[in-house]
Structure 1
Amino acid sequence: MAHSSWLATCGSPWSALGTLAALATSLLVLSYVSSSLVHRAAYGYGDPYSPDAESPSAAAAAAVAPRKGPGYPPVFAYYITGGHGDFVRVTRLLKAAYHPRNRYLLHLDAGAGAYERARLASYVRSERAFLGYGNVHVIGRGDALDGRGPSAVAAALRGAAILLRVGADWDWLVALGAADYPLVTQDDLLHAFSSVPRDLNFIDHRADSESHHVVVVDQNLLQSTNAELSFSSGRREKPDAFELFRGSPSPILSRAFVEHCVAAPDNLPRTLLMYFSNTMDAAEFYFQTVMANSPRFRNSTVNHSVRFDVPPPQGMDLRSRYDALVGSGAAFAGRFGDDEALLQRIDEEVLRRPLDGVTPGAWCAAGSGEEGSAAECSVGGDIDAVRQGAAGRRLASLISGLVGTGACDGCKS
């Protein structure tokens, strides 16, 4: 199938809107990339909550920059997203996954109000550790998006471009939503990934078995407020030019692969961005398909996202659900609903996170250990030191079994 026919397989009104949405998506992401490369604001909102705003923590951040190289732990970049009413869940997730080595970008989508974003930015600036290390940023204006549509991919690429702009010293990108939560401390995660080659991508993927796909129009690509997807009665056949792959929308991606998707040194990422601009569940396809069709990256994949879905409460008590999560050996779990008791148990028994505090680690000036936790983690500890706990040993065992298991499953050689 010729590339020019992708958007012409549905009725003419939908085709016109689909083409416009595709062009808008590409221009949107490319504008973020261009601004990042010329060291200007990663997005032109000019508000005081942007990562590019002057901050008193800049000097402190430079003074405690993590050491890189052999013998030192990696650095993770976290893109944490939420919507209206997610302030508590986003800040709780941030504190649970916090470590001064890492970088964090928080995004409340267009469904959240300006007050919610201002409150989030104010909270970040009020926390001593966040302010002292200067590694937490808040996007000042939320993207309009629908998690089922291509606007979710555009938002993720935008977040990646901003993280590359504010500091390209990180090794892997981790995207988390407000319904996600860590199952290990950051000490455990950093320790487990210390021996992993930095070019590996932990990306769950499988060849797409569908012969046709639903065509959608995602108006969030064209406006500033959240909108529902519009569905076309038309169907689109699979292309001949490349193979489609799908998987978890929350992979752990290497910096090299993220730069490839954002900067698009060849035409593949841009071409696929156009293709998926009117595809349902685009976030389950985009990164997997770019990876599988790229000669450079198809052999640097691990077919696992190191995540575990929360078991449903039906037929399982709290202890059984907790045991399933912890026993998985995964780094993160997703799809937490109204699970306060389960989250509290993870905080107390796995993370040892004090009430309203960050997860302690070897970096805490007050010190911490597997058998106890610091009452407060403050600026002044060794951010290059990590200590492995029981959950970290389970994660390390999982990763050692995954790494070296082969290249992209089903990709062309």
Structure 2
Amino acid sequence: MGVERKWLFTLFTAAFLSFIILMFSSLSCFNSPVPFPSSVHYGPHYPPAFAYFISGGNRDGDRIFRLLLAVYHPRNRYLLHLGLDARDEERQKLAAAAMSVPVIRAFGNVDVVGKAGYMTYLGSSNVAVTLRAASVMMKLDAGWNWFVTLSARDYPLVTQDDLSHAFSSVRRDLNFIDHTSDLGWKEKDRFQPIIVDPGLYLARRSQIFLATQKRDTPDAFNLFTGSPWVILSRSFLEYCIFGWDNLPRTLLMYFTNVKLSQEGYFHSVICNAPEFKNTTVNGDLRYMIWDNPPKMEPLFLNVSVYDQMAESGAAFARQFEVGDQVLDMIDKKILKRGRNQAVPGGWCSGWRSWWVDPCSQWGDDVNILKPGPQAKKLKESVSSLLDDWSSHTNQCLITSEETED
């Protein structure tokens, strides 16, 4: 009996060790990415691609990384910006976190701004940083079609396959930018005061300051205002940066001294440029809830409004508290995303299980889309906005025209 027990113990031990080795070898196989990335194709016969500029400040690194994974796709381009109020160690940590993701490491389509700038909330440094980001992304990647601005307080309500699917039928020169020429109280509060943003010329954090005098509302061009969160076409941004006439630079000089210039610069440029004013779709595809009367920022979103968000047909929502439970709900119910994992899409080819990231492997064609249920809602929203655009009843109208309508 003693010999049999020893023999059985040896047999069971060997079997157990074999099982452990097999399991770990399987995990290694499942998690190892293909050695070379698949080819990414751009052009009118392929899905559109997006350039994401994601910005934040001190201690926003973890939030930006989570947001990056929530909007990641190998076809897109990403530029992450932590303002000068963040420490260099946080920037390095964010870059390391991004590079720890196999697909990001393989496709090399995520960059972190090393020499950051201040983004003074009320000042014009926001516009300067955004223009710089757009120019950098143009230099890095020639394939993307639309430029999307997000902050660490934003989160998507659709997958990237949903977004690309909804935009596949959209003319690629169109710009989704909420705008109006009805300045209302903003004329005296935002446009006539003269402000100076120290973030443009000081290496330390400082608040804006006001000049003692005000200036008249300009009559050489029309002013427009609206949401600072935009989806802009590559062609329009090329015009803003390389401007073949002087309008973008003239307006940039004017908006340098305007409070919250990010709510008016792009809006005014596009609506004063004859070749672009007919490319404006009046909407930003964001879900936000405002106080009454509205304050500087929308209300924080939570689980109580999840159903409204999910049914809204918006592409993104704003704003969220750090680590709010509703973000986990969005990950689970809409994005189907695991912790510290990218959102699964048509490009993922790995096995889905509780211990394996399905996007740790990808196939030969990352241009394939697999839109989900949210794609239909987003497409309905986009179609509704495009109907308004086609009727020319809600784009770049000056106040008198809006009143007549």
Residue 330 (str. 1) matches residue 314 (str. 2):
yes
Distance 1:292 1:316 in 2: 31
Unaligned runs of 5+ in 1: 1-58
Structure 2 SS opposite 1:398: helix
Which residue in the other structure is 2:25 paired with?
Answer: none
Residue 203 of structure 1 is aligned with which of 161, 165, 177?
177
Letter of the structure 2 residue corresponding to residue 345 of structure 1: M
Which of 375, 384, 392 is residue 401 of structure 1 equivalent to?
A: 384
**Counterpart of 1:56?**
none
- Distance in 1 (alpha carbons) for counterparts of 2:358 and 2:103: 10
Matches within 5 A, 1:114-263: 114-207=88-181, 208-209=183-184, 210-212=186-188, 213-263=192-242
Q: For 2:388, what is the secondary structure of its paired residue?
A: coil
| Distance in 1 between residues matched to 2:239 and 2:386, nearest whole Å | 22
Q: Does 1:288 align with 2:279?
A: no
Q: SS state of the match for residue 397, structure 1?
A: helix
Whole-Å Cα distance in 1 between the matches of residues 299 and 111 of structure 2? 41
Aligned partners of 1:337 and 1:67: how far apart in 2? Answer: 37
The counterpart of 1:383, out of the listed 366, 372, 381, is 366
Residue in structure 2 matching 1:363, options 326, 331, 347: 347
SS in 1 for 2:278: coil
Per-residue deviation at 1:301? Answer: 1.0
CA distance in structure 2 between the aligned counterparts of 1:192 and 1:211, rounded to whole angstroms: 36
CA 65–264 in structure 1, closer or farther in 2 if over 3 Å, else same: farther
In the superposition, relative to structure 1, how do residues 96 and 230 fare at CA in structure 2: closer, same or farther (>3 Å)?
same
- Output the amino acid matched with 1:361: G
- Give 1:140's aligned amino acid: G
**Structure 1 counterpart of 2:375:** 392
Map Cα deviations across residues 338-374 of structure 1 (whole Å, 9 max, x no partner): 4611111111101111111111111102267xxx997
Contact between 1:360 and 1:373, CA under 8 Å: does it hold in 2?
no
Question: How many angstroms apart in 1 are the aligned matches of 2:199 and 2:328?
Answer: 35
Residue 226 of structure 1 and its aligned partner are, at CA, apart by 2.4
- Pair 1:81–1:250, CA change in 2 (3 A): same
Letter in 1 for 2:151: G
Query: Aligned residue for 2:74?
Result: 100
Alpha carbons 2:301, 2:320 under 8 Å: kept: no
Question: Alignment partner of 1:196: what SS?
Answer: coil
Residues 222, 323 of structure 1: CA spacing in aligned structure 2 closer, same or farther, 3 A cutoff? same
Mapped contact 1:293–1:411 kept (Cα < 8 A)? no
**Aligned equivalents of 1:244 and 1:316: distance in 2?**
30
Contact 1:268 1:290 in 2 (8 A): yes
Look up the SS of the partner of 1:181 in the other structure: strand
After superposition, give the CA deviation of every residue in 1:200-256 in whole Å (9 maximum; x if it has no partner): 000000002344322211001002232211123322221010000001101100000
Look up the equivalent residue of 1:394 and give its one-letter code.
K
Q: What SS does the aligned partner of 1:403 have?
A: helix
**Structural RMSD (CA):** 2.5
Shift in Å at residue 119 of structure 1? 1.1
| Separation in 2, partners of 1:106, 1:272 | 26
Residues 322/223 of structure 1: CA separation in 2 closer, same or farther (3 Å cut)? same
Which segment drifts farther, 235-244 or 68-77?
68-77
Q: 1:410 aligns with which of 394, 397, 404?
A: 397
Cα pair 1:83 1:112 within 8 Å, conserved: yes
State the match for 1:80 in structure 2. Answer: 54
Q: Residues of 1 paired with 2:228 and 2:38: CA distance?
A: 33
Identity of aligned residues (%): 42
Question: Once superposed, which parts of structure 1, at least 4 consecutive aligned residues long, lie more than 6 Å away?
Answer: 314-317
- Of 325, 346, 367, the residue aligned with 1:341 is 325
DSSP-derived class of the 1:197 partner: coil
Q: Number of paired residues?
A: 350
Give a deviation string over 1:80-119, Cα, whole Å, max 9, x none: 1111000110000000000001000011110101111111
1-side partners of 2:164 and 2:351: how far apart? 17
Q: Is the 8 Å Cα contact of residues 133 and 379 (structure 1) preserved in structure 2?
A: no
Asked if the contact 2:302–2:320 (Cα under 8 Å) also holds between the matched residues in 1, the reply is no
1:192, CA displacement in angstroms?
Answer: 0.5
Alpha carbons 2:350, 2:362 under 8 Å: kept: no
What is the deviation of 1:404?
3.5
State the AA in 2 paired with 1:400: S
Aligned equivalents of 1:374 and 1:295: distance in 2?
Answer: 52
1:399 corresponds to which letter in structure 2?
A: V
**Whole-Å separation in 1 of the counterparts to 2:398 and 2:321:** 35
C-alpha separation in 1, matches of 2:205 and 2:179? 29
Secondary structure of 2:306's counterpart equals helix
Instruction: Tell me: CA distance 1:392–1:232, structure 2 relative to 1, closer, same or farther (3 Å).
Output: same
Aligned CA distance change for structure 1 residues 247 and 317 (closer, same or farther; 3 Å): closer
1:109 equivalent among 73, 78, 83:
83
Match for residue 31 of structure 2?
A: none
Alpha-carbon distance between aligned partners in 1 of 2:107 and 2:343, rounded to the nearest angstrom: 15
Q: Residue deviations 1:32-57, cap 9 Å, x none?
A: xxxxxxxxxxxxxxxxxxxxxxxxxx
Q: Does the 8 Å CA contact 1:77/1:171 hold for their aligned counterparts?
A: yes
Are the counterparts in 1 of residues 177 and 283 from structure 2 also a CA contact under 8 Å? yes
Q: Which runs of 5+ in 2 are unaligned?
A: 1-34, 292-297
Q: Is the CA contact (8 Å cut-off) linking 1:153 and 1:282 kept in structure 2?
A: yes
Cα offsets for 1:295-324 (capped at 9, x unmatched): 011001100011111578x99995541011
The 2-side partners of 1:340 and 1:114 are apart by 26
Aligned-pair CA distance for 1:67? 1.3
Question: Displacement of 1:325 after TM fit?
Answer: 1.0
